[in-house]
Chain A
């Protein structure tokens, strides 16, 4: 009887060793708190809930402290999470998300006022500002390139590039990119207000003209050919973006477009969010490098906003009265679609209740998506 009792106690003790309570570290607790904060922000404040809920829950999943060796965690070969993470590691999910983005994006604002495209280019300054800072802080060239892309404010692009240049930092980079995308309404307005005068904020822009279907179809095809001829390494992202847009604009592939912008992008968003969140295991995530990445990410968003707003101000010097652009749309050059365009609208309405900037800001916003994909291609060409 005593032997049997010992057997029970011994196995209960053994079982306890397998529980998360026995393996829990302070790091796990911190990361679980971060995950809970993400979920809180998503539900209570409605900050990017589509992203923060999967990522936040993924952080919880990734920080359940298990005993290693049982094919449970995202970094253990053969585990279910590891299989799902494969799509992140190999850069499969980001192009699929770009397909969906292309299928749901209306480029009319950009086509009707093509000079807005250039704002999307100017805002990429954030990427290279962060790249320079990262080099100065001692990150390796490939790490600096991967960190810099946070300034593009484009989650899928950040994941795609970091999976190629610095897979070890991908979790931190993805979390930083998505976090700051959610925080665009907090980060950008002070910079926008600081750089503009009240008179500039009140500038009214001409309403965009109607764009024909032919123009939209040509945009998708010509856009893909031109950008990928210049930066072939951006092909996975740019090709899928314009392909998705062609599905939408051709008007004859409605079913395909509906799938790309509906169920498919939803599925991929769930998978990418959950697995990226789960990749933030405290043991690999809580490092000084991660803190540096978060600091650089914030700086890159500020620089990107600065670049976009200042570019509009400079361009305005050469434009006639009546054709001037409101510098408040400059922030939308970062590709956080449509959050940064929404910020332009909200800040614009603060100064003039009837001056709606949303449609104008959508131009640089979607140009930012193209610009950040091109920038990612350049970084890949030079550093990979």
Chain B
């Protein structure tokens, strides 16, 4: 049985590893960045910090922690992935969780970090590359037919689709429609909480029922394992019989000794004789009253 278990355990471990490694997780680094919205022809849309209307590119941090975009590259040419290097060491390149950053595609890189060395008039592909300049993080091919002041972007943060947006939202969520919270949506369908009670009790019971099944079977296995196999040999059977007849007091004494040992409550005898004073008995010889000098009386 032990051999069989030893064979099974590596299999289970390997299976778990496969499961864990195959599950996709949200990266908490530059990989989480997404191109989110672009405006190619800016006639009367957002103005930059120089008061000019320029094309712009919005990037969204889809992760749940801050990502520093510094060191990454933006380009409008896939053959030249390192066209614009986003400077490092500047706090403004840090994008908070689920937040946005806007770059001005005005071909004026001397105007600051957020001003790119290309514009979007010729570019048909925008891409962002990781700090190694090789790993493509995200790209978008700009379709023809771009109109002035109409942005092209994802209709919502989690969408993979790109459409012409009714309203431009530089530095903000593209989905500006009023949304209900998860709780409101849930209660709309379940105003009295009956559904919640049924689902939740089912899940709680399922979770604990699975535990029940596992421990029930595990218990059976361990009980079987712990039960001594009585061999029909005369001497051994005598030994088993003696063990079975161990009195309750002996068991209790052994249990107490083990408890004291495990809890480190037992004392250590160091074979040195000591006299332990157990009580203070009154004696005039040790009384302070009698040992104090009497105050001299002049009378």
Residues of A within 8 A of B (CB): 110-112, 114-115, 117-118, 120-122, 124-125, 127-129, 131-132, 135-136, 140-142, 144-145, 165, 209-212, 214-215, 218-219, 222-223, 226-227, 230-231, 367, 370-371, 374-375, 378-379, 382-384
Q: Choose among B196, B201, B212 the residue with the greatest number of A CB atoms under 10 Å from its CB.
A: B196
Instruction: Please tell me if the beta carbons of A124 and B219 are within 8 angstroms of each other in the complex.
Output: no
| Binary per-residue interface labels of chain B (193-227) against chain A in the complex, 1 for a CB within 8 Å, 0 otherwise | 11011011101111111111011101100110010
Tell me, yes or no, whether B91 is within 8 Å of chain A by CB: no
Pick the contact of B204 from A129, A145, A222, A374 — CB < 8 Å? A374
Residues of B within 8 A of A (CB): 181-184, 186-187, 191-194, 196-197, 199-201, 203-212, 214-216, 218-219, 222-223, 226
Kindly report which residue of chain B lies nearest to residue A230, judged by CB atoms.
Answer: B207
Kindly report which residue of chain A lies nearest to residue B211, judged by CB atoms.
Answer: A117
- Residues of chain A with a CB closer than 8 A to B205's CB: 118, 121-122
Expressed in whole angstroms, the minimum distance between the Cβ of A234 and any Cβ of chain B is 9
Instruction: Please tell me if the beta carbons of B197 and A131 are within 8 angstroms of each other in the complex.
Output: yes
Pick the contact of B187 from A115, A118, A141 — CB < 8 Å? A141
**A and B contact pairs by CB, cutoff 8 A, 12 listed:** A110-B215, A114-B212, A121-B207, A128-B196, A129-B197, A131-B196, A141-B183, A209-B219, A218-B218, A230-B210, A382-B183, A382-B196
Instruction: Please tell me if the beta carbons of A382 and B182 are within 8 angstroms of each other in the complex.
Output: yes
Instruction: Please tell me if the beta carbons of B208 and A383 are within 8 angstroms of each other in the complex.
Output: no
- Residues of chain A with a CB closer than 8 A to B201's CB: 121, 124-125, 128
**Other contacts beyond A122-B205, A375-B200, A379-B196: 4, CB < 8 A:** A121-B207, A145-B183, A214-B222, A215-B215
- Residues of chain A with a CB closer than 8 A to B194's CB: 132
- Residues of chain B with a CB closer than 8 A to A383's CB: 181-183, 186
- Residues of chain B with a CB closer than 8 A to A145's CB: 183
Instruction: Please tell me if the beta carbons of B199 and A118 are within 8 angstroms of each other in the complex.
Output: no
- Residues of chain B with a CB closer than 8 A to A165's CB: 183
- Residues of chain B with a CB closer than 8 A to A144's CB: 193
A150 to B197, CA, bound (A): 15
With known contacts A374-B204, A374-B208, A111–B219 Cβ distance under 8 A: yes
Pick the contact of A117 from B193, B199, B215, B226 — CB < 8 Å? B215
- Residues of chain A with a CB closer than 8 A to B215's CB: 110-111, 114, 117, 215, 219
With known contacts A128-B193, A132-B192, A222–B214 Cβ distance under 8 A: yes
With known contacts A111-B215, A375-B200, A383-B182, A118–B208 Cβ distance under 8 A: yes
- Residues of chain A with a CB closer than 8 A to B212's CB: 114-115, 117-118
Instruction: Please tell me if the beta carbons of A230 and B211 are within 8 angstroms of each other in the complex.
Output: no
A137 to B204, CA, bound (A): 25
Instruction: Please tell me if the beta carbons of A212 and B226 are within 8 angstroms of each other in the complex.
Output: yes
- Residues of chain B with a CB closer than 8 A to A112's CB: 219
Instruction: Please tell me if the beta carbons of A114 and B193 are within 8 angstroms of each other in the complex.
Output: no
Instruction: Please tell me if the beta carbons of A226 and B210 are within 8 angstroms of each other in the complex.
Output: yes
Instruction: Please tell me if the beta carbons of A227 and B211 are within 8 angstroms of each other in the complex.
Output: yes
- Residues of chain B with a CB closer than 8 A to A382's CB: 182-183, 186, 196, 199
Instruction: Please tell me if the beta carbons of A215 and B182 are within 8 angstroms of each other in the complex.
Output: no
Expressed in whole angstroms, the minimum distance between the Cβ of A219 and any Cβ of chain B is 7
- Residues of chain B with a CB closer than 8 A to A122's CB: 205
- Residues of chain B with a CB closer than 8 A to A214's CB: 222
Kindly report which residue of chain B lies nearest to residue A115, judged by CB atoms.
Answer: B212
A374 to B214, CA, bound (A): 18
Instruction: Please tell me if the beta carbons of A135 and B193 are within 8 angstroms of each other in the complex.
Output: yes
- Residues of chain A with a CB closer than 8 A to B219's CB: 111-112, 114, 209, 215
- Residues of chain A with a CB closer than 8 A to B223's CB: 209
- Residues of chain A with a CB closer than 8 A to B196's CB: 128, 131-132, 379, 382
Kindly report which residue of chain A lies nearest to residue B188, judged by CB atoms.
Answer: A141
With known contacts A124-B201, A215-B222, A227–B183 Cβ distance under 8 A: no
- Residues of chain A with a CB closer than 8 A to B182's CB: 382-384
Instruction: Please tell me if the beta carbons of A378 and B193 are within 8 angstroms of each other in the complex.
Output: no
- Residues of chain A with a CB closer than 8 A to B206's CB: 230
- Residues of chain A with a CB closer than 8 A to B199's CB: 378, 382
Instruction: Please tell me if the beta carbons of B218 and A215 are within 8 angstroms of each other in the complex.
Output: yes
- Residues of chain B with a CB closer than 8 A to A124's CB: 200-201, 204
Pick the contact of A141 from B184, B197, B209, B222 — CB < 8 Å? B184
Instruction: Please tell me if the beta carbons of A128 and B183 are within 8 angstroms of each other in the complex.
Output: no
With known contacts A128-B197, A378-B200, A370–B184 Cβ distance under 8 A: no
Kindly report which residue of chain B lies nearest to residue A141, judged by CB atoms.
Answer: B183
Instruction: Please tell me if the beta carbons of A120 and B208 are within 8 angstroms of each other in the complex.
Output: yes
- Residues of chain B with a CB closer than 8 A to A111's CB: 215, 218-219
Instruction: Please tell me if the beta carbons of B186 and A141 are within 8 angstroms of each other in the complex.
Output: yes
Instruction: Please tell me if the beta carbons of A378 and B186 are within 8 angstroms of each other in the complex.
Output: no
A117 to B219, CA, bound (A): 14
- Residues of chain A with a CB closer than 8 A to B200's CB: 124, 127-128, 375, 378-379
- Residues of chain A with a CB closer than 8 A to B187's CB: 135, 141
Expressed in whole angstroms, the minimum distance between the Cβ of A317 and any Cβ of chain B is 17
- Residues of chain A with a CB closer than 8 A to B211's CB: 114, 117, 222-223, 226-227, 370
Expressed in whole angstroms, the minimum distance between the Cβ of B147 and any Cβ of chain A is 40
Instruction: Please tell me if the beta carbons of B192 and A135 are within 8 angstroms of each other in the complex.
Output: yes
- Residues of chain A with a CB closer than 8 A to B197's CB: 125, 128-129, 131-132
Nearest 9 A/B pairs, CB to CB: A141-B183, A132-B193, A128-B197, A383-B183, A114-B215, A141-B187, A121-B208, A378-B200, A230-B207
